[in-house]
């Protein structure tokens, strides 16, 4: 069975194939009647043990527009709350004859573990602080549509690197597409071992947002994940914004240096903390384009995993 567990599962030809199909799906998304018969008779289960707005609903819409039957199960409201284990839960769902399991779980490695237990295709919709591969694909798709090829483009990824699964998947996919990436964060929000990793993988690190800001083709702001922090974070919210927030003055600097710059955020945003309303709603902001692309990219991923095996389209 083929799965999508990590961005590292996708070499350049596979990333290109997914992004090219996503462009076709985007065309379908813009039609008045959006249904394709591609996955008729197939069943996709969204199994979400962590909250989600974008990922869960876009996988649901994607599956439905491809004519799959889509079922949503969340941790709250399922027998997990009665103590059923992850293994028993997924074996129970799989026993009903599902074709694909889209899983979000708070434990890093959960999707990989689930793929060992079931016969269905497994798609990682976010596993703890580890990876979120479809987010990286939709980010790449969105940036490419505005910027063209990402080869040699300078992407800043800014903020809470320690708790972000988006950053790891983005680093892999952006490297595959030939982008230059600089990670920007206070020392308190850079994970241990990142210096060695950056040297091995060829991305750059900075603690000085203002110094690197004017060199950016794209700025991806990350959410400060307070729910994953046991104590406080860099030293106060106010000081975080002063040092690392995409504020109005930084937006002005960014646009003055490069009027074609784009601003991304995977969502959900903490407006006023890591990104101000001026930047979130600026002409340069692609944040809602990312949401829209999420449906097309997830249609493409479902298509490549499920339709490919039967040659249907
Ligand atoms: N970006 C993202 O994963 O958003 P949700 O948590 O709303 O799915």
Answer whether 279's CB lies under 8 Å from 246's CB.
yes
- The answer to whether residue 68 is domain-embedded is yes
Q: Identify the band that residue 235 occupies on the pLDDT scale cut at 50, 70 and 90.
A: low
Query: Is 285 found in the same domain as 144?
Result: yes
Query: Is 268 found in the same domain as 155?
Result: yes
Residue 149: which CATH number?
3.40.50.1370
Computed over every residue of the chain, the mean pLDDT equals 94
Query: Is 112 found in the same domain as 154?
Result: no
Walk across the sheet containing 121-127 and list its strands: 69-74, 43-48, 100-105, 121-127
pLDDT given for residue 311 in this prediction: 40
| Interface confidence (ipTM) of the complex | 0.98
Q: Radius of gyration (Cα) for the chain, nearest Å? A: 19
pLDDT given for residue 281 in this prediction: 98
Question: Which residues form the pocket of ligand 1, taking CB atoms under 6 Å from any ligand atom?
Answer: 52-55, 126, 135, 266-268
Output the residue whose Cα is nearest ligand 1's atom 6: 52
- pLDDT over 70 percentage in the chain: 96
What are the phi and psi torsion angles at 304 (to 5°)? -65, -35
Which residue of 104, 129, 222, 268 sits with most ligand 1 atoms within 8 Å of its CB, as the best mutation to test the pocket?
Answer: 268
For the CA of 53, the nearest atom of ligand 1:
7
Query: Is 306 found in the same domain as 270?
Result: no
Query: Is 83 found in the same domain as 25?
Result: yes
Question: Average pLDDT of 68-82?
Answer: 91
Which residue of 46, 51, 53 sits with most ligand 1 atoms within 8 Å of its CB, as the best mutation to test the pocket?
Answer: 53
pLDDT given for residue 312 in this prediction: 36
pLDDT given for residue 80 in this prediction: 87
pLDDT in tens, 98-147: 999 999 999 999 999 999 999 999 999 999 999 999 999 999 999 999 99
Query: Is 15 found in the same domain as 74?
Result: yes
- The answer to whether residue 2 is domain-embedded is no
pLDDT in tens, 236-285: 889 999 999 999 999 999 999 999 999 999 999 999 999 999 999 999 99
pLDDT of residue 234 exceeding 90, the answer is no
pLDDT given for residue 81 in this prediction: 85
Give the distance (Å) from ligand 1 centre to CA of residue 256. 31
Q: Is 55 annotated as a binding residue?
A: yes
Give the distance (Å) from ligand 1 centre to CA of residue 311. 31
Query: Is 296 found in the same domain as 244?
Result: no
Query: Is 117 found in the same domain as 186?
Result: no
What are the phi and psi torsion angles at 125 (to 5°)? -100, 25
Query: Is 177 found in the same domain as 128?
Result: no
Q: Is 135 annotated as a binding residue?
A: yes
Domain enclosing residue 271, as ranges: 133-290
pLDDT given for residue 313 in this prediction: 35
pLDDT of residue 28 exceeding 70, the answer is yes
Closest by CA position to 106, among listed 124, 81, 119: 124
Q: Is 226 annotated as a binding residue?
A: no
Q: Identify the band that residue 211 occupies on the pLDDT scale cut at 50, 70 and 90.
A: very high
pLDDT given for residue 76 in this prediction: 85
> What is the pTM for the complete model shown?
0.96
pLDDT of residue 44 exceeding 70, the answer is yes
Q: In whole angstroms, what separates CA 27 from the centre of its chain?
A: 21
pLDDT given for residue 110 in this prediction: 97
pLDDT given for residue 232 in this prediction: 61
User: C-alpha dihedral over 278, 283, 287, 291, to 10 degrees?
Assistant: 140
Question: Average pLDDT of 225-237?
Answer: 73
For the CA of 104, the nearest atom of ligand 1:
8
């Amino acid at each position: 069975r083929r799965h999508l567990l990590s961005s590292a599962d996708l070499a350049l030809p596979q990333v290109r194939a997914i992004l090219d199909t996503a462009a076709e799906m985007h065309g379908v998304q813009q039609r008045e009647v959006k249904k394709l018969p591609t996955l008729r008779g197939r069943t996709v289960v969204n199994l979400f043990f962590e909250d989600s707005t974008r990922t869960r609903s876009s996988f649901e819409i994607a599956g439905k527009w491809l004519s799959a039957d889509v079922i949503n199960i969340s941790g709250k409201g399922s027998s997990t709350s009665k103590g059923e284990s992850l293994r028993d839960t997924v074996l129970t769902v799989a026993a009903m004859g599902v074709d694909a399991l889209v899983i979000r779980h708070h434990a890093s490695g959960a999707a990989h573990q689930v793929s060992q237990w079931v016969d269905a295709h497994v798609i990682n919709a976010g596993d703890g602080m580890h990876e979120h591969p479809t987010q990286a694909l939709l980010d790449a798709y969105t940036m490419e549509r505005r910027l063209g090829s990402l080869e040699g483009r300078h992407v800043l990824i800014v903020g809470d690197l320690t708790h972000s699964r988006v950053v790891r998947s983005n680093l892999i996919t952006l490297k595959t597409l030939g982008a230059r990436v600089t990670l920007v964060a206070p020392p308190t929000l850079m994970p241990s071992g990142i210096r060695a990793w950056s040297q091995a993988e060829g991305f750059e690190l900075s603690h000085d947002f203002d110094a690197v800001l004017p060199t950016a083709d794209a700025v991806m702001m990350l959410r400060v994940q307070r729910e994953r922090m046991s104590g406080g974070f860099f030293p106060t919210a106010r000081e975080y914004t002063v040092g690392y927030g995409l504020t109005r003055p930084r937006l002005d600097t960014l646009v003055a240096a490069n009027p074609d710059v784009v601003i991304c955020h995977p969502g959900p945003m903490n407006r006023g903390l890591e990104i101000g309303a001026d930047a979130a709603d600026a002409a340069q902001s692609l944040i809602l384009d990312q949401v829209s692309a999420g449906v097309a990219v997830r249609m493409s991923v479902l298509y490549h995993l499920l339709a490919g095996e039967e040659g249907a389209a």
